[in-house]
Amino acid sequence: MIFGAIFLASIPLFLGVIHLLKVARGVQKIYELAPAQHQGKSGTVSMGGIGIVLGILGASVGLHLLSRPVGFCLAVLVGFAGIGLLDDILSIKRSKNLGLKARHKFLIQMGLGLVAVAGFHFGIHSLKAWEFAVYWVLLIGVSNATNLTDGLDGLLGGLSVASLTGFAVLFHAMGMGSMTQLMLSCVAILGGFLVFNLHPARVFMGDTGSLALGAFFVSASMVLGNPWILAGLGGVYLIETLSVILQVGSFKMTGKRLFKMAPLHHHFELSGMNERQVVGMFWAVGLVLMGVTVWIFYWIG
């Protein structure tokens, strides 16, 4: 019941954010090499991730989710949202799909990721050396993976709902009530976002949202104490990232491309599928991976 109320409350929140972004001319510039059908999206309001972050923070305060693990996850969410916001603002100011330089963004992510893992290690639960290193790499890698995945209307939003639902089930199984409520609150907020982000989108989450969500998933896996859970709950993000790595590697080594375009969702678009079909297919894969991951967790447990 309460999460339905959070969903309903998120609708006016996103309406307000969209209005303010329009006034501030926070509009998206489409990447020049994106499929031709995407060029018509130029001018769509971006930085909708601001509403996602504000909604999650508001729901957490309203539900009195004050545990250290919740505070840690929220801090990671806000920190990486800050990186994305800076990237989005620079992109808009330059009137092109180019914000922070890749090396600058990577260095900032490395620094913030190190602070986050150290904070978890000293403030919540001590980590072994290998765990410290794995989570540090994951914070950088998964936040970039979700950023790559955010390329079609509703794609990352819907996949994130699947990931968060999986986390909610796992936290519930472990008796971690505050974390379960946090995950379900996020599902409700993203449900409200999807009302305006499904094709044809009225708002994009931008790097503000995509970087924040990826890092947030990693923070949840840290609290869960299982980095490998992301292979299932974030399987589609991994596939999307691998498609880019394979595409670049193949072209540099052989001069040939494996896909018509990377990330993989663009390959299916250029193969004749429309945007809704691609998003639906990827959502289905995400849901299956989530279901299998939760089943394996219970089976092993």
Give the residue, 151 or 36, on which the prediction is more confident: 151
Distance CA 145, CA 136 (A): 14
Full-model pTM? 0.95
Distance CA 215, CA 206 (A): 15
- Could you read off the pLDDT of 134-181 as tens digits, one per residue? 999 999 999 999 999 999 999 999 999 999 999 999 999 999 999 999
Question: Is cis: bond before 227, omega within 30 of 0?
Answer: no
- Could you read off the pLDDT of 219-271 as tens digits, one per residue? 999 999 999 999 999 999 999 999 999 999 999 999 999 999 999 999 999 99
List the structure tokens of 212. Answer: 């924040």
- Could you read off the pLDDT of 221-235 as tens digits, one per residue? 999 999 999 999 999
Contacts 24+ apart (CB under 8 A), 255-260: none
Contact predicate 55/216, CB 8 Å: no
